[in-house]
């Protein structure tokens, strides 16, 4: 049961970036997003992912894999979308 709760929590945590990624994709605008925030999220997620793998924690691995993918998409958007004037 704890594992199921862990996966539910992991899923909910992991999708926190989904609305931002979708909004950025639709508007092609990420000007208000801080590149430093995105880089901190990427770094912290890599560290959490390493921890999850080393402890064989499925929920930690699942959540951080999704968060890493979404934050890398945001980073890509931040680096490629033109700034609006």
The model's pTM: 0.85
Which sequence spans correspond to the domains of the chain? 2-80
Arithmetic mean of pLDDT, 57-62: 92
Q: Are 61 and 53 in contact, with CB atoms under 8 Å apart?
A: yes
Domain 2-80 matching CATH 3.40.50.740: the answer reads no
Model confidence at 85, pLDDT cuts 50, 70, 90, reads very low
Rounded to the nearest integer, the mean pLDDT of the chain is 91
- What's the pLDDT score for residue 34? 92
- What's the pLDDT score for residue 41? 94
Task: Identify which has the larger pLDDT, 54 or 84.
Answer: 54
Q: Which residues of 64-80 are buried (b: 16+ CB within 10 A; e: fewer)?
A: bbbbbebbebbbebbee
């Amino acid at each position: 049961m704890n594992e199921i709760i862990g996966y539910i929590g992991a899923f909910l945590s992991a999708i926190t970036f989904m609305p931002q990624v979708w909004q950025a994709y639709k508007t092609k605008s990420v000007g208000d997003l801080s590149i430093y925030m995105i880089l901190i999220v990427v770094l912290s997620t890599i560290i959490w992912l390493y921890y999850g793998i080393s402890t064989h924690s499925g929920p930690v691995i699942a959540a951080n894999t999704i968060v890493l993918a979404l934050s890398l998409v945001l980073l890509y958007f931040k680096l490629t979308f033109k700034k609006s004037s």
